[in-house]
Amino acid sequence: MLLKKSFKEKTINSVQMGKGTVAFQGVKLNVHCFVVDGVLIDTGAKSLEKEFKSFFKYHDIDQVVITHYHEDHTGCASFVHKELQLPIYMNDIMLDYCKKKPDYPLYRKLFWGKRSPFHAEPIGTTFSSRHATWDVIETPGHAIDHLSFLNRETGQLFTGDLYCQERIKVVLREESIPTIIESLKKVLTYDFEDVFCCHAG
């Protein structure tokens, strides 16, 4: 497979950011994972498992939270659960779906690989890390189970795939742009500082 892969890491305001990129015939896609205060936010794509594995092993992680079930955010969830024995928390809507082998279009399998089944637990409306309490904010639209996470202590907001573009090129069948806009308005009612997006970084 002529998939070109790369991985970059940087730290911004104590947030360790891992960025994996896959490129195929001029199309380039990337996905981020974040580690802060012992929390891993999202697990990257299966096609980048080798790259993300060393990132996960290198950092000190107590627990994993997932913004939504898509394969570029849950691709290495099975690895972190089985090999690193970390608990995974996500919206309960897609818990059962994640226990099974997923079905998604070929072009997504090509870029992101085939996500293995994994077990997660329901996240609730808040959670705690070493030094902080976090709000779990329901932000559907991009995916039915989409969540954003706000660290109340630092004001850092992790928004997964919550964004909309001025000129939209591709919309998934399950996506609803008006619902995304409602979710964006909802996060604006919270008091936050930095925003970490899973694709823009």
Which residues contact Zn ion by CB under 5 A?
70, 161
CB closer to Zn ion out of 49 and 161: 161
CB closer to Zn ion out of 67 and 116: 67
- Nearest distance from residue 199's CB to Zn ion, in Å? 8
**134 φ, ψ to 5°?**
-120, 145
- Nearest distance from residue 94's CB to Zn ion, in Å? 12
Cα separation of 111 and 97, whole Å? 21
CB closer to Zn ion out of 70 and 81: 70
Query: Could you write out the DSSP letters of every residue in 23-46?
Result: EETTEEEEEEEEEETTEEE----G
CB closer to Zn ion out of 31 and 157: 31
- Using Cβ positions, the residue closest to Zn ion within the complex turns out to be 70
- Nearest distance from residue 76's CB to Zn ion, in Å? 15
- Nearest distance from residue 132's CB to Zn ion, in Å? 25
Rounded to a whole number, what is the largest CA-CA distance in the chain?
45
E-assigned strand segments in 52-192: 63-65, 88-90, 121-122, 126-128, 133-138, 147-151, 157-160
**168 φ, ψ to 5°?**
-90, 130
- Nearest distance from residue 43's CB to Zn ion, in Å? 13
CB closer to Zn ion out of 32 and 81: 32
Cα separation of 128 and 155, whole Å? 14
